[in-house]
């Protein structure tokens, strides 16, 4: 049996303390959660060349009011391998609808998918390609957020430790700052009648240990929902500043999803694509003095699927992913199934 790491011991202790605290003030705390488990069967050259059950996930969320203006949220997850993680832990003060301040560990308000990607929130099972490769999954930060809505205009402004330099953009998640710079960003949206939303997001921060080079992420997303169908799209672009002697890196990707609403079942289809070029990072990267072998990838995916609503809080999802990589012919399509619940 593996020994529990110091980090996991601290997380377990934090969860235990929070649960005990919640029990004491149970009249003021709401408790919710979610569960999911996947099944995958792929073609011979996919990462699921056979069939397997995978990705068991259990989450619990505590939220409540400490006073008429002060609120709080804490979320913990248990994933495969008995890994316990704290996804959110923040306290906030609500002055009015147009100004709310949060302090602590928060999910970064970048695009729409990053804050709405739990199994019971997303119609598809797999992460969109841009969300899989261009930033960490359920990207979080430690710092402060101010957000609100006024006359149909939504905004979020934040400052935090930011992402660290890593071999890939999706592995830069950190919680203790690796340099003297503080990252900052914001998201601005317009909410119109008939379920139409449009947002622009920006993130900017120095990500290397020497505090000299910038990482800039931008995103634009649109959604339109009616009684019969829902349309969603998101585009993300990354600009990666590299040391002298190396060209700057870049990556971009987009995701388009269309779904319909019928009695108890929702068919869904999507198209996704991303492109990632960076001659300084990639395999073998080990800090600014030891560059990697570079990244040059371009991939697309068609997905078709359906969501069966077993009840108000239980979903059975099925999807088939048609994967394509530039200049590479692979038999790597995959069938996924997922049971997702919220409570």
Q: Is the pTM of this model over 0.75?
A: yes
Helices (H), 71-186: 129-133
17 CB contacts (<8 Å, ≥6 apart)? none
Tell me the C-alpha distance between 260 and 249, whole Å.
Answer: 38
What local confidence, expressed as pLDDT, does residue 188 receive? 97
What φ, ψ does residue 311 adopt, rounded to 5°?
-160, -175
183 CB contacts (<8 Å, ≥6 apart)? 141, 159, 160, 161, 162, 163, 203, 204, 205, 206
Residue where the block lists tokens 């108890």: 264
Which residue in 131, 133, 83, 125 sits closest to 107, CA to CA?
131
- The residues that bridge with 149 in the sheet, in sequence order, are 154
What are the tokens at 338?
């997922």
Task: Give the three-state DSSP class for 19.
Answer: helix
What local confidence, expressed as pLDDT, does residue 96 receive? 85
Which residue in 313, 318, 323 sits closest to 335, CA to CA?
318
Provide CATH code, domain 34-342: 2.40.160.10
- Kindly report the number of other CB atoms within 10 A of residue 119's CB atom: 22
Q: For strand 99-107 and strand 51-65, is the pairing parallel, antiparallel, or unpaired?
A: unpaired
Please report, for the chain, how many H helices and E strands are present, in that order: 2, 16
Tens place of pLDDT per residue across the chain (343 aa): 444 555 555 555 555 555 555 544 544 789 999 999 999 999 999 998 889 999 999 999 999 988 888 999 999 999 887 788 999 999 999 988 889 999 999 999 999 999 999 999 999 999 999 999 999 999 999 999 999 998 889 999 999 999 999 999 999 999 999 999 999 999 999 988 778 999 999 999 999 999 999 999 999 999 999 888 999 999 999 999 999 999 999 999 999 999 998 888 999 999 999 999 999 999 999 887 789 999 999 999 999 999 999 999 999 999 999 999 988 899 999 999 999 999 9
């Amino acid at each position: 049996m593996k020994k529990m790491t110091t980090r996991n011991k601290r997380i377990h202790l934090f969860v235990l303390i929070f649960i005990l605290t919640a029990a004491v003030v149970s009249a003021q705390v709401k408790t919710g959660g979610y569960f999911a488990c996947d099944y995958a069967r792929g073609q011979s050259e996919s990462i699921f060349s056979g069939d397997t059950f995978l990705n068991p996930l259990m989450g619990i969320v505590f939220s409540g009011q400490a006073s008429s203006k002060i609120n709080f949220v804490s979320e913990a997850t248990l994933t495969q391998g008995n890994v316990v993680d704290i996804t959110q832990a923040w306290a906030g003060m609500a002055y009015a609808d147009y100004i709310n301040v949060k302090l602590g560990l928060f999910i970064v308000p970048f695009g729409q998918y990053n804050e709405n990607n739990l199994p019971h929130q997303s119609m598809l099972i797999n992460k969109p390609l841009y969300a899989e490769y261009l930033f960490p999954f359920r990207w979080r930060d430690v710092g402060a957020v101010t957000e609100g809505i006024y006359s149909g205009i939504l905004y979020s402004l934040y400052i935090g430790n930011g992402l660290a330099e890593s071999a890939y953009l999706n592995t830069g998640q950190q919680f203790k700052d690796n340099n003297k710079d503080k990252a900052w960003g914001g998201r601005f949206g317009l909410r119109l009648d008939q379920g139409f939303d449009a947002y622009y997001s920006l993130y900017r921060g120095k990500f290397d240990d020497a505090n000299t080079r910038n990482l800039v992420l931008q995103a634009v997303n649109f959604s339109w929902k009616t009684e019969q169908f829902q349309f969603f799209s998101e585009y993300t672009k990354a600009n990666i500043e590299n040391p002298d002697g190396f060209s700057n890196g870049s990556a971009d990707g987009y995701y388009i999803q269309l779904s319909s609403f019928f009695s108890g079942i929702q068919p869904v289809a999507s198209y996704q694509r991303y492109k990632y070029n960076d001659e300084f990072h990639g395999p073998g990267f080990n800090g600014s003095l030891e560059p990697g072998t570079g990244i040059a990838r371009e991939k697309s995916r068609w997905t078709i699927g359906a969501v069966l609503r077993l009840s108000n809080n239980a979903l059975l999802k099925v999807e088939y992913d048609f994967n394509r990589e530039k200049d590479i012919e692979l038999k790597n399509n995959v069938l996924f199934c997922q049971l997702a619940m919220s409570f």
